[in-house]
Structure formats: structure tokens, C-alpha cells
């Protein structure tokens, strides 16, 4: 009986493609982006971002929903965006989103924050639920 030898790289590629194809977006929110109201933030503007991914969690101390992301190249740093105009449909813990918007300085130090956490006020302009 002859055995067919399949290179390990080929099997890994099939596995990765299977996982990648099973991960699909729940869809674009289309018209919902039109409902996002701009904020009236008086803090200093930092930068615009587009197409970033993050996870939404409720911050009990701030009593607001935030978008959290890890800082690439680090193992303990995190950016916490305090969203001033979070749409109701995104106010669910552990929702993964692709988003765009504007960073503004956060005016105060947040008590009980971890070393490596950087806080910003954030004005959301677009989003898409990824998970």
C-alpha cells in the first residue's frame, strides 16, 4: 500500500485557510454610522485613526463603555478609548469592532488603572462589528 506524503506546510495552509474562512463579519452597520452623533470635546486633539480593531468593555469607575486594544510590540500596554458617542447597539461587553474616529487627551488620571494603560477620550465616526 502506498502512502501519500503531504508536506506539513501544505496542511498548515489548509488549516489556516479553514479558520480564516470561518471567521466572518456579522455585517456592516451601514445606516447606523449615520446615527453616530459627534461629541463636543474640549480636550486637545491627538490624532485620527481608521480601521483599527478593539474590544468593547464597560468601565465601572468611569461609568462608560470603552474600546480596548493592546499596544503592538508590548505584552502589558493597553489603549483605553473612553467613547463619548457609543451607539446603543455597541453597548455589549466583549463586542469586537473595527472602528475609526478621533483621539483626544484624557484630562485626568484614572484611579485603579494598571501600569501601561493609556486613556483617551474618543469620538467614534465609523464602526463595523467583527465578531
The CATH architecture assigned to 27-129 reads Beta Barrel (2.40)
Write out pLDDT tens, residues 7-23. 433 334 343 333 333 34
Write out pLDDT tens, residues 68-105. 999 989 888 999 999 999 999 999 999 999 999 999 99
DSSP annotation of 62 reads T
pLDDT for residue 96: 96
Sign of the Cα pseudo-torsion (131, 100, 31, 21, in order): negative
What CA–CA distance (Å, rounded) separates 94 from 97?
9
In angstroms, what is the C-alpha Rg of the chain?
Answer: 19
Amino acid at each position: 500500500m502506498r502512502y501519500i506524503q503531504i508536506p506539513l506546510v501544505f496542511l498548515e495552509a489548509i488549516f489556516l485557510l479553514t479558520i480564516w474562512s470561518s471567521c466572518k463579519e456579522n455585517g456592516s452597520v451601514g445606516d447606523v454610522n449615520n446615527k453616530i452623533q459627534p461629541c463636543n470635546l474640549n480636550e486637545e486633539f491627538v490624532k485620527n485613526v481608521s480601521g483599527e480593531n478593539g474590544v468593547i468593555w464597560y468601565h465601572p469607575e468611569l461609568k462608560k463603555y470603552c474600546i480596548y486594544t493592546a499596544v503592538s510590540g508590548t505584552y502589558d500596554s493597553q489603549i483605553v478609548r473612553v467613547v463619548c458617542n457609543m451607539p446603543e447597539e455597541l453597548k455589549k461587553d466583549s463586542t469586537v469592532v473595527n472602528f475609526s474616529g478621533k483621539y483626544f487627551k484624557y484630562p485626568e488620571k484614572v484611579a485603579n488603572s494598571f501600569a501601561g494603560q493609556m486613556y483617551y477620550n474618543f469620538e467614534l465616526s465609523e464602526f463595523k462589528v467583527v465578531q
